[in-house]
Structure 1
Amino acid sequence: MKNASLVLMGMAALAAQAVHAAEAPAFDPKRLAQDVKVLSSDEFEGRGPNTAGENKTVDYLVQQFKAAGLKPGGDLKGGQRAWTQDVPLGRFEINGPVKLTLTEGGASRELAQGPDMAVRASMSGLKQVSFKNAPLVFVGYGVTAPERKWDDFKGMDLKGKLAVVLINDPDFETGQGEFGGKAMTYYGRWTYKYEEMARRGALGTIIVHETAPASYGWPTVRNSNTNVMYDVVRKEPRKSHAPMEAWIQRDLAAAMFKAAGLDFEALKKQAQTRDFKPVALKGVTLSADYAVDTQVIKSKNVVAIREGSKQPGQVVVYSGHWDHLGVGQPDAKGDKIYNGAIDNATGLAAMLELARAYGKAPAPQRSVVFLAVTAEEKGLLGSEYYASNPLYPLASTVGVINMDALSPRGPARNFNISGSAKLELLDRLVAKAKQSNISLSPDPKPEAGYFFRSDHFPFAKRGVPALSFGSGNDWIEGGVEAGEAAETAYTEKNYHQPSDEFDPAWTFTGMARDLGLLYAVGSELANSTAWPNWSLDSEFRTARDKSASQRK
């Protein structure tokens, strides 16, 4: 086992490093249910940033943190901490209709925003995106990876062109290759695709949607990309965003390839090899015209703290995002409120229950911070802003436990984390779980790239040991079959859709049990002198090691 020495070292050190840790309290499923019910109610309007729903959400969280006996942990104002951290964001919204005209072999037809393509409000700084007959170029998976000797572009100049790109990694379909098999690398994320095409000066990026490699269906793509967009405020936005950023239905893309005399599936196979070269879609062009309303707004991260008694400057962080999609496109029933009950009112409820436990327990030696971040659904923006502008130094941040979309049902025999990262923080969680006969299972969908999709990632890439906890799928009642069926049904029918609503039948007993594990690990760290690290072969280890001299 590659990480065996690290695991043994971490386990052997636990007793020596831990001074004392409070026994895990009982967590109340009824309180969890009540918090989820309130936060995902229509009254909160889908918890969209910069809306009345944000104000209600922030007020509710602050109220609950106060009642739990915690103190404000946010921005310093007049020498005192506030309950929030201001997060300036660029806000981008398409104003009016989106006109899209596809020309194939001289014949033109209109494409529909939503059913055919999902065009995002441009974050390039342009207030009007308008171009005629732009040529399209297929660039495979759109990857530049020198360390893998991989270049999908082969010198292709993308200026003035629309890059058509596949989602996920080149070895997703075969499960073998230079990119870790089924487990997604950052090269497979749509965020990387957009960033890389912008770096290359493309007029636009059009990602071809396929459900398996994307890990979600077209309704999720449409709902997530045709509403208000947000981004961190950038001095040179064109370096990060091409004028057009969009997704396209797979069958429509294949028809475009056919009109250009190309075979989509054959070219996709070629794109899975190092020898692939970009291919122009001859005779196929796209015209677009749409206006974009751009503003700079302030959203808020909510921050509460249980101050440490001996080393208050050293912090353990529990995080989760408070936002969802707000009010957007109506579904077939006419429902326009994206309530986000599971995603992520469950994580917020878990955070509040943990806060109540810490508030009742004796003060830990280190501080414990509860960080509810904004704009996760827009690209981890709240956590990215915090990690770029930390209220408590990252070098002195012991670890981060993130909670996103937990199961509101009964307990499972297992749990997972997003991705397959190796770190001592996970070793501690595994050890605590083993005491309760709960086991760690591999990320059930490593190809989905969840490691890059949750709010622990901005901390991880800066070296802070961080993980995102996932509920298990081997249910005590129903086993793996029931757990996987529920996960599949949620992804297909509810994820990023108005139907992600509170269900009175949810028991929350599994979440209550899991919170005992998360409390035990956090409390142990908060009452120790331990500094967990990444495994020796982790890409995040170097950054963590460099910060060691800054710790007090």
Structure 2
Amino acid sequence: MAAIALSATAMSAAAAQPGGSADVDISADNLTRHVRMLASDAFQGRAPATAGEDRTIAYISQAFAAAGLQPAGDHGGWTQAVPLVRASIDGDVEVSVSSHGQRQSLVNGDDIVVQTLKPVDEVDIRDAPLVFVGYGVHAPERQWDDYKGVDLSGKIALVLINDPDFETAQPGAFEGRGMTYYGRWTYKYEELARQGALGAIIVHETAPAAYGWATVRSSGLSPRFDIVRSDAERYHSTVRGWIQRDLAVSLFKQAGLDFEKQKQRAQQAGFSPVALPETSLSTRFKVKREQVVTHNVIGKLTGSQRPDESVIYSAHWDAYGEGEADAQGDHIRHGAVDNATGVAAVLELARVSAAAPRPARTQVFMALTAEEMGLLGAEYYVAHPLLPLQKTAAVINVEMLSPDGPTRDIASWGKGHVSLEQDLQRVARAHGRTYSPDPNLEAGFFYRADHFAFARGGVPAITIGAGLDRIDGGVQAGRALREAYFANCYHQPCDNWSGQWDASGQVRDVALMYALGHGIANSREWPAWLPASEFAATRAASDASRD
């Protein structure tokens, strides 16, 4: 496929403001070549700290060098070392539930998924009582506390995914169906550890989780990673995981409780935890813990006037590596859409940026590790930045571009309350396209991409992804394709490159990202969090360091 050039006339309409740029050619052939290579069997699913990582970072480093970037990693190299702990289940898993003296053995991966990041060599829990804690939210600023002084020591908490407003008729303390951070699985585990729970088990329901059990199984049976923590003993409960909804419903019924009625109770601020009478969980498995080092890959183009100020383009390079074979015998989770497309975009942005005149600010290009493990590569960079965060003007993160051809619109993930959303809307309009706010706020995508780690550090950040309004078929066709991907291929082996892909939509999207980033890099203005954002105060603390 040939490169698509955006007209100079369309570009000039935005050039005077952040988001403008000069004419640029984005190559569909390059995007396709990168995705096809990164998603190939040779890269073994790009799991961190594997041979697949070695091939991945070598490929990206070579592509950055070929584009003409300068190394921006540790010690003048291309990579930033990210030390992690990898925890794997070593051997078989015993897990069972007991209700009123009747014990039921469970199959790890089918009925339940259990894992741990606590610094232990073995998990051995015998008949720990089960307690339902609703949505597991402790949010004083919203006058909400699902715990109300309950003692969870020695107990396993059953917790619902998403927010209390997800299924209510009217928006309440959690702003309706749009997920807040309190709805994310990461928050559930963090808060239950703070509450002293022995274990934290999330009840899986497809709609509020935004993915099916196959995704839970695939990711849950993989090794788990965490940054090295001095407080890991307190930061993690002894066991965590997910349980199938039907099994949870059955346990509630055996305990004399109605699951749906308890869930409705949990949607009210007056909810208090409820124990499941004479119901307990037991599990035993060995844990193999290793300290490993994975890597972010970072290159830059030094700014012509204000090199200490920067604009970051980022995408995560990791996927889920190798796992159980699917019906076709494929055991590699190739991660083509998620997120070889994002990496390909960053590589192509690096190429066209290096070929263009240098803007005033430094442009940084990052391929981040361990996003699938909890945004760990981005979190590590924010804790150990190689360029000052207070003078990082913006992060433009790229996720999951569409293989299905062009759309009239472009979208961002979540509702970030950040000026970059308006900038993207304006750039899209200047190029004859529209901007679509996230159509699926209840999925909590704002908290599921690397830009969120930067946002918590105060840096204005956005994740850009494909729109839904397909030129061929409109929103209905775009939504159907999206839903089919998440139902069937998300984190599965079938997320693989195909010769049937149409990269022309990716070309159009990457061209808009270039326009947005190049305009910010040439501007004296600073993107900002809006007053409604929870990150505005963090950014304001460094206001004095910016002109």
For normalisation by structure 1, the TM-score amounts to: 0.95
In the alignment, the residues of structure 2 paired with residue 381 and residue 473 of structure 1 have an alpha-carbon distance, to the nearest angstrom, of 29
Superimposed CA distance per residue, residues 110-159 of structure 1 (whole angstroms, 9 cap, x where no aligned partner): 10000000112x11101100011110000110111111111111111000
Q: Which residue is equivalent to 2:254?
A: 259
SS of the residue 2:402 aligns to: coil
1:243 to 216, 226, 238: 238
- Opposite residue 63 of structure 2, the aligned amino acid is Q
Superimposed CA distance per residue, residues 319-347 of structure 1 (whole angstroms, 9 cap, x where no aligned partner): 00000000112223332110000000000
Alpha-carbon deviation of 1:550? Answer: 2.1
1:182–1:447 contact (8 Å) kept in structure 2: yes
Q: Within 5 Å, which residues of 2 pair with 1:396-545?
A: 396-545=391-540
SS of the residue 1:477 aligns to: coil
1:159–1:203 contact (8 Å) kept in structure 2: yes
Alpha-carbon deviation of 1:24? Answer: 3.4
In the alignment, the residues of structure 2 paired with residue 330 and residue 153 of structure 1 have an alpha-carbon distance, to the nearest angstrom, of 41
1:103 to 88, 98, 106: 98
For normalisation by structure 2, the TM-score amounts to: 0.96
Q: Which residue is equivalent to 1:332?
A: 327
In the alignment, the residues of structure 1 paired with residue 380 and residue 235 of structure 2 have an alpha-carbon distance, to the nearest angstrom, of 16
Alpha-carbon deviation of 1:460? Answer: 0.9
In the alignment, the residues of structure 2 paired with residue 65 and residue 139 of structure 1 have an alpha-carbon distance, to the nearest angstrom, of 48
Which structure 2 segments of 5+ residues have no match?
A: 1-13
In the alignment, the residues of structure 1 paired with residue 100 and residue 220 of structure 2 have an alpha-carbon distance, to the nearest angstrom, of 29
In the alignment, the residues of structure 1 paired with residue 16 and residue 25 of structure 2 have an alpha-carbon distance, to the nearest angstrom, of 27
Superimposed CA distance per residue, residues 458-496 of structure 1 (whole angstroms, 9 cap, x where no aligned partner): 111221110000211000111111100100000001001
In the alignment, the residues of structure 1 paired with residue 372 and residue 53 of structure 2 have an alpha-carbon distance, to the nearest angstrom, of 14
In the alignment, the residues of structure 1 paired with residue 409 and residue 544 of structure 2 have an alpha-carbon distance, to the nearest angstrom, of 37
Q: Within 5 Å, which residues of 2 pair with 1:126-165?
A: 126-165=120-159
Superimposed CA distance per residue, residues 191-221 of structure 1 (whole angstroms, 9 cap, x where no aligned partner): 0100011011111001000000000000001
- Is residue 2:315 matched to residue 1:316? no
Please, what is the CA RMSD of the aligned residues?
A: 1.3
- Is residue 2:171 matched to residue 1:172? no
In the alignment, the residues of structure 2 paired with residue 345 and residue 308 of structure 1 have an alpha-carbon distance, to the nearest angstrom, of 28
In the alignment, the residues of structure 1 paired with residue 104 and residue 508 of structure 2 have an alpha-carbon distance, to the nearest angstrom, of 56
SS of the residue 1:90 aligns to: strand
In the alignment, the residues of structure 2 paired with residue 286 and residue 270 of structure 1 have an alpha-carbon distance, to the nearest angstrom, of 23
- Is residue 2:357 matched to residue 1:362? yes
- Opposite residue 130 of structure 2, the aligned amino acid is L
1:194–1:240 contact (8 Å) kept in structure 2: no
Alpha-carbon deviation of 1:366? Answer: 1.1
- Is residue 2:227 matched to residue 1:232? yes
Q: Which residue is equivalent to 1:34?
A: 33
- Opposite residue 371 of structure 1, the aligned amino acid is M
1:207–1:247 contact (8 Å) kept in structure 2: yes
Alpha-carbon deviation of 1:295? Answer: 1.0
SS of the residue 2:42 aligns to: helix
1:216 to 206, 211, 214: 211
Q: Which residue is equivalent to 2:287?
A: 292
In the alignment, the residues of structure 2 paired with residue 24 and residue 323 of structure 1 have an alpha-carbon distance, to the nearest angstrom, of 32
- Is residue 2:123 matched to residue 1:124? no
Which structure 1 segments of 5+ residues have no match?
A: 1-13
Alpha-carbon deviation of 1:16? Answer: 7.0
| 20-29 vs 541-550, greater mean Cα deviation | 20-29
Q: Within 5 Å, which residues of 2 pair with 1:16-95?
A: 22-75=21-74, 77=75, 81-95=76-90
In the alignment, the residues of structure 1 paired with residue 219 and residue 23 of structure 2 have an alpha-carbon distance, to the nearest angstrom, of 38
Q: Which residue is equivalent to 1:5?
A: none
In the alignment, the residues of structure 2 paired with residue 280 and residue 365 of structure 1 have an alpha-carbon distance, to the nearest angstrom, of 60
Alpha-carbon deviation of 1:426? Answer: 2.1
Q: Which residue is equivalent to 2:266?
A: 271
SS of the residue 1:536 aligns to: coil
1:24–1:516 contact (8 Å) kept in structure 2: no
- Is residue 2:344 matched to residue 1:349? yes
SS of the residue 2:166 aligns to: coil
Alpha-carbon deviation of 1:527? Answer: 1.3
Q: Which residue is equivalent to 1:10?
A: none
In the alignment, the residues of structure 2 paired with residue 389 and residue 101 of structure 1 have an alpha-carbon distance, to the nearest angstrom, of 42
- Opposite residue 149 of structure 2, the aligned amino acid is G
In the alignment, the residues of structure 1 paired with residue 426 and residue 130 of structure 2 have an alpha-carbon distance, to the nearest angstrom, of 53
Q: Which residue is equivalent to 2:109?
A: 114
Q: Which residue is equivalent to 1:384?
A: 379
Alpha-carbon deviation of 1:17? Answer: 6.6
1:22–1:361 contact (8 Å) kept in structure 2: no
In the alignment, the residues of structure 1 paired with residue 175 and residue 234 of structure 2 have an alpha-carbon distance, to the nearest angstrom, of 28
In the alignment, the residues of structure 2 paired with residue 485 and residue 257 of structure 1 have an alpha-carbon distance, to the nearest angstrom, of 35
Q: Percent identity?
A: 50
- Opposite residue 326 of structure 1, the aligned amino acid is G
- Opposite residue 458 of structure 1, the aligned amino acid is A
SS of the residue 1:284 aligns to: strand
In the alignment, the residues of structure 2 paired with residue 538 and residue 379 of structure 1 have an alpha-carbon distance, to the nearest angstrom, of 22
- Opposite residue 332 of structure 2, the aligned amino acid is I
1:315–1:397 contact (8 Å) kept in structure 2: yes
In the alignment, the residues of structure 2 paired with residue 102 and residue 423 of structure 1 have an alpha-carbon distance, to the nearest angstrom, of 46
Alpha-carbon deviation of 1:21? Answer: 5.8
In the alignment, the residues of structure 2 paired with residue 267 and residue 24 of structure 1 have an alpha-carbon distance, to the nearest angstrom, of 58
- Opposite residue 440 of structure 1, the aligned amino acid is Y
Q: Which residue is equivalent to 1:11?
A: none
In the alignment, the residues of structure 1 paired with residue 23 and residue 113 of structure 2 have an alpha-carbon distance, to the nearest angstrom, of 46
Change (3 A) 1:22 1:138: closer
In the alignment, the residues of structure 2 paired with residue 236 and residue 167 of structure 1 have an alpha-carbon distance, to the nearest angstrom, of 26
1:324–1:340 contact (8 Å) kept in structure 2: yes
- Opposite residue 406 of structure 1, the aligned amino acid is L
- Opposite residue 446 of structure 1, the aligned amino acid is L
Superimposed CA distance per residue, residues 167-207 of structure 1 (whole angstroms, 9 cap, x where no aligned partner): 00011001521101000011100001000110111110010
Alpha-carbon deviation of 1:551? Answer: 3.3
In the alignment, the residues of structure 2 paired with residue 34 and residue 17 of structure 1 have an alpha-carbon distance, to the nearest angstrom, of 33
Alpha-carbon deviation of 1:15? Answer: 7.5
| 43-52 vs 305-314, greater mean Cα deviation | 305-314
SS of the residue 2:26 aligns to: coil
In the alignment, the residues of structure 2 paired with residue 244 and residue 491 of structure 1 have an alpha-carbon distance, to the nearest angstrom, of 27
